[in-house]
Structure 1
Amino acid sequence: MGKPTGMFDRDFEWGELVRFASYAGAEATLGVVSGRRRQGKTFLLDGLCRAEGGFFFAASEATEAESLRQFGAALARFEGRRTPYRFAHWEEAVSELMGLTAPGGAPLVVVLDEFPFLAKTSPELPSLLQRALGPQARHESGPVRLLLCGSALSFMGNLLAGTAPLRGRASLELVVPTLDFRLAARFWDLTDDPQLALLVNSVVGGTPAYRREFVLGDTPASLDDFGPWVLRNVLNPGRPLFREGRFLLAEEPDLRDTALYHGVLAAIAQGNHTRGGIAGFLERKSTDLSHALTVLEDTGMIVREPDAFHGKRSAYRIAEPILTFYHALMRPEWSDLERPGQALAVWERSQATFRSKIIGPHFEQVCRTWTRWYASPDTLGGQRTRVESGTVPDPAAKTSHEVDLATFGRDEDGREVLLAIGEAKWNETMGLGHLQRLDRIRTLLRARGGVHAERTRLLCFSGAGFTDDLRDLAHRDPTVQLVDLDRLYTGD
């Protein structure tokens, strides 16, 4: 079954959906599809239903009675009935749904999109589906290929977890991810200009909808057009990206005290990545933030990354670039941005913020992504197992050193070793001084014990290039690797 026309990438996701839909067994089966909003889940599932002649129902925020009326009308249209079904409760609706078959009794794809909306007003729905999918109901159900889809990550994650009714019932659990920086460059047709691709990625990330629906296909024509593009599409009160940072939180059903969640995101966007730093920014106790941080993690808004060299420490980072852009640059200037004609002045006076709070940290994250998934074993000196950032104390200098990325692997004996450490500078030409700093950190790690850094390589990442003497040294010494923007986007 070929992918729908216009679908970019998603080969793995489409293949898994086709495999699920093509299962020839006589029993009903269940699949769960989740992912952050605007990633193309509905497009994928609608394409599957169109290709297979399946039934697609998109739920909305409504009362139980209204949802049942909408579902009954949609099901009747699918079956070609002149009058809609009048279901009194979901038990009747599920019974009718699970009896569906394609012509000749073949398996039929059924999609319930935005399933959390239905379960919110009808909490018994997962239990009803569990019963309909159970062994005792097999003689009543047709070969339905039921797919439940939702963007509420905390809800969808719990749908098959622990003692949840549907635990153990699903034969597909598919998460539709955001496009990474390389795929995003292809999607935006920016592969020929990696600098521009990274700038755009630092604002909108790899969310497909931001390329099409939200900007109507408006792509920066050149590096000089990046600023005007931001003014046209992101800082423009008449465009949907302008309020996207606010709406992403408002759309999450598990977020109640949105002021607190916005505050946590603002603290992280301003460079406070530890729990203590976030608490200090908000002038609250660290213990008061436990629930908020957990909920933001569960909804996919933030990620918690362990410190590479301190197991008990961790750093929080915002997972969606548009949220970082909003909280670091737009939210502090909101009153001015809402007034037409003020965006240019805001953008010009916010360039330092953009460099230090947005593009700089984003470049570091992209470098970690490249090291984790694209760098070759020849580059790293072995097969990597994890890539993290961390902090290394320097007692003699009474300071500590931030390590932008630390790459770990295993040696021939299965022992974990530190393959490489690296530094990333977006707007700074790197020279021997940067390499000497990395060498100092490597010396400290070798001396402290507990970290096997005997063969650790040094990686320099720069968006502005390298000095000639550093290039000459790296050319002679394979343990020093230089990674520029071209290599980030095309090399290993």
Structure 2
Amino acid sequence: MTGKPSRVFDRGMEWDGLVAFAGRSLPHAMLGIVSGRRRMGKTYLLRALVEQYDGFYFGATAGTEAESLRQFSAALAERTGSPAPFSFANWDDAISYLFGLAASAADAPFLVVIDEFPYLAKVAPELPSLIQRETDRFQTEESRMRLLLCGSAMSVMGGLLAGTAPLRGRAQLELVVRPFGYRAAADFWGVSADPALAARLHAVVGGTPAYRRQFLADDVPAGLSDFDAWICRTVLSPYSPLFREARYLLAEEADIRDTALYHSVLAAVAHGNTTRGGIANYIGRKSVDISHPLNVLEDSHLLAREADVFRAGKSQYRITEPLINFYEAVMRPAWARLESGQAADVWSQSAERFAAQVAGPHFETVCREYVLGPGRSLLGTSMGEVGGGVVTDSVARRQIQIDVAVVEPGSEQGRPSAALLGEAKWGTVMGLSHLERLGRARELLAGRGMDTTRCRLACFSAAGFSDALRAEAERGGVLLVGLDDLYGRGVPARG
């Protein structure tokens, strides 16, 4: 394995996957697809990889076919040491020459990275077919080609390997570079010692690395007391690059035409309308009419559809990019006031909205991430699906929302089981009433045939727990997880 450069923060798994691909000694061509939304550090990561392998990197830009071919030809000529730029007649000649370099290479792999590939595919739609032809050809002829196609347009990159696409079945690597997890993001921003600040910061900017350095020039909140001022001078300031970033993220997706419709769909979710019917009702459309925008937002990794783990066929939508959720919930309703410089007034009036529509839902997501990762050891099992869902209590005529659940599907030999039922609260001190509700949900699930004999109950709270609930945890009745526990600075109270 080639060691990850110290300047590359985190990304250990991604680096290992890329090195395993690039360093394979097989004597035939290999293709990899690397995708991820903008600002994730894909280019930074791939440039570091190219440096390690003395490979060839080409970053495409938006332009005509002729200009793009000319830029590619010049970059390739420079890489080979040619005294004059190449003058390929078309992309067919360029791709053939590129693969020819790998065929004549020594035993070492020839790493090639074509970044922002969607720009090229848009003006030269024959490119995937040309790459397919050469990849197939050099499965039987010797080649050391290790070609990585990278792009930020998620719908375009996902389509390269889908359905009847020319490159379907040809890739040996499909890597999505995702935002940092909430713990890694806290380390990256340097706020891991202050979980209350880290949680708020992550609820606004998520785990996108570019926002700290490229966008804000390392303007980090000095502490929790500086968070409000930081919000006003960065995200809510019309002079900050982050101010319009949520709009740009949506506009950059190639399949999004009517941005007003897509903003309305996202606003519906941000305001708590998380079902298909709720979204349609919020924007004044029929459910069948919003299938396309929902699918496009899912393909763009801006919206996620999460299945209800207790009710087959039921699901809810969640905005995956915290900054977009913050924009739709806090900024968009007051856009004119923010543009006129009233950030402090808008933010002072948004406390309740921020807690209910931004921090609260985001906290639930972080709690599920915790159970899926560092908190898994608390369960006594490594199996099960982590999610959320609703348990209907027909006797009391109410629905019990389970924010964090770990369930194992049934098999022919056994029935489905629940390993954990949990509730997450951002601004509420949790007490015995929350525990009683979880206990009732466990009884209802057991009555419907689910195995709950080893099911633990958990309360997740950013605001703390009552003395009575803590006493119950001491007796073994509940697992308590606070912000310190989520960020690895404490040991959860457990029974």
TM-score where L is the length of structure 1? 0.95
Structure-to-structure mapping, 1:219-238, within 5 angstroms? 219-238=220-239
Name the structure 2 match of 1:21: 22
Partners in 1 of 2:5 and 2:105 — Cα distance? 23
Query: Unmatched 5+ residue regions in structure 1?
Result: none
In the alignment, is the contact (CA less than 8 A) between 1:368 and 1:387 conserved in 2?
A: yes
How many Å apart are 1:410 and its aligned residue? 6.9
User: What is the alpha-carbon distance in structure 1 between the residues aligned to residue 424 and residue 107 of structure 2?
Assistant: 59
Aligned-partner Cα distance in 2 for 1:108–1:240: 38
Q: Report what 1:119 is aligned to.
A: 121
CA distance in 2 between partners of 1:249 and 1:462 (Å): 32
Residues 57, 74 of structure 1: 8 Å contact kept:
yes
Contact 2:29 2:138 in 1 (8 A): no
Deviation at 1:105, TM superposition (A): 6.2
| Cα separation, 2, equivalents of 1:435 and 1:181 | 26
Verify the 8 A CA contact 1:383 1:410 in the aligned structure 2.
no
Give the CA deviation at 1:440.
Answer: 2.1
Question: 2-side partners of 1:172 and 1:400: how far apart?
Answer: 43
Amino acid across the alignment from 1:467: S
Q: What is the match of residue 210 of structure 2?
A: 209
SS in structure 2 opposite 1:296?
helix
- Aligned-residue CA RMSD (Å): 1.9
AA in 2 matched with 1:446: A
Distance 2:456 2:105 in 1: 62
Partner of 2:343: 343
Matches within 5 A, 1:412-491: 415-447=415-447, 449-477=448-476, 479-490=477-488
Structure 1 segment 264-413 matched on structure 2, within 5 A: 264-340=265-341, 342-377=342-377, 379-409=378-408
Q: Secondary structure at the match of 1:160?
A: coil
Q: Deviations over 1:65-84 (max 9, x none)?
A: 11111111111222222321
| Mapped partners of 2:238, 2:38: distance in 1 | 21
1:288-313: CA deviation from partner (whole Å, max 9, x where unpaired): 00011011001100000011221111
CA distance in 2, matches of 1:402, 1:274: 14
Give the CA deviation at 1:103: 7.0
Tell me the CA shift for residue 414 of structure 1. Answer: 5.0
Deviations for 1:32-51, whole angstroms, at most 9, x for unmatched residues?
11112211111111111112
Supply the AA of the counterpart residue of 1:126: P
The one-letter amino acid of 1:437's match is: R
Question: Over residues 213-241 of structure 1, what are the superposed CA-to-partner deviations in whole Å (9 max), with x where a residue is unaligned?
Answer: 11111111110011111112101111111
407 and 25 in structure 1: CA distance in 2 versus 1, 3 angstrom threshold: closer
- Cα offset, 1:430, TM superposition: 1.0
Deviation larger for 25-34 or 250-259: 25-34
Task: Assess if the C-alpha contact under 8 Å between 2:28 and 2:138 holds in 1.
Answer: no
Which deviates the most, 23-32 or 342-351? Answer: 23-32
Q: 1 CA distance for matches of 2:196 and 2:409? A: 34
| Structure 1 stretch displaced more, 33-42 or 452-461 | 452-461
- Whether the aligned pair in 1 keeps the contact of 2:232 and 2:344 (CA below 8 Å) is yes
Question: Matched residues in 2 for 1:169 and 1:381: separation?
Answer: 40
Contact 1:384/1:410 (8 A) holds in 2: no
Q: TM-score, normalised by structure 2?
A: 0.94
Shift of 1:162: 2.8
1:138, distance to aligned residue in structure 2 (A): 5.4
Q: Which residue of 1 aligns with 2:159?
A: 158
Structure 1 pair 317–78 and aligned structure 2 pair: CA distance change class (3 A): same
Mapped pair 1:108 → 2:106 = no
Deviation string 1:347-399 (CA, Å, 9 cap, x unpaired) is: 0011111011000111111111111222234x334334112211122222222
Identity %: 53
Match of residue 94 from structure 1: 95
Residues 1:90 and 1:311: Cα distance change in structure 2 (over 3 Å): same
Q: Which moved more, 1:316-325 or 1:434-443?
A: 434-443
Q: Distance in 2 between matches of 1:203 and 1:260?
A: 23
- The 1:106/1:375 distance shift into structure 2, 3 A limit, reads closer
Once the two structures are overlaid, the 10-residue window that deviates more, 274-283 or 144-153, is: 144-153
Alpha-carbon offset, residue 180 of structure 1: 1.0
Deviations 1:134-181 (A, max 9, x none): 136854x74221110011222212212232211222222212121111
- Give the Cα separation in 1 of the matches to 2:39 and 2:427: 31
Tell me how far apart the structure 2 counterparts of residues 27 and 420 of structure 1 sit (CA, whole Å). 48
Q: 1-side partners of 2:71 and 2:301: how far apart?
A: 30
Give the partner amino acid of 1:445. Answer: L
Deviation at 1:403, TM superposition (A): 1.6
Q: What CA distance in whole angstroms lies between the structure 1 residues aligned with 2:257 and 2:358?
A: 27
Moved more, 172-181 or 262-271: 172-181
Unpaired segments ≥5 residues, structure 2: none
| 3-state secondary structure, aligned to 1:387 | strand
CA distance in 2, matches of 1:26, 1:441: 58
* Residue identity matched to 2:386: V
Structure 1's 297 and 445: CA in aligned 2 closer, same or farther, altered over 3 A? same
- 2: distance between equivalents of 1:481 and 1:137? 55
Mapped contact 1:55–1:109 kept (Cα < 8 A): yes
**Cα distance in 1, alignment partners of residues 452 and 109 from structure 2:** 56
Which secondary structure does the structure 2 equivalent of 1:376 belong to?
helix
Alignment of 1:130-149 (within 5 A): 130-135=132-137, 139=141, 142-149=143-150
2:295 match: secondary structure: helix
**CA distance in 2: counterparts of 1:383 and 1:145, whole angstroms:** 36
Determine the C-alpha separation between the residues in 2 that align with 1:149 and 1:26: 23
Q: Check the 8 A contact 2:38/2:152 in 1, yes or no.
A: yes
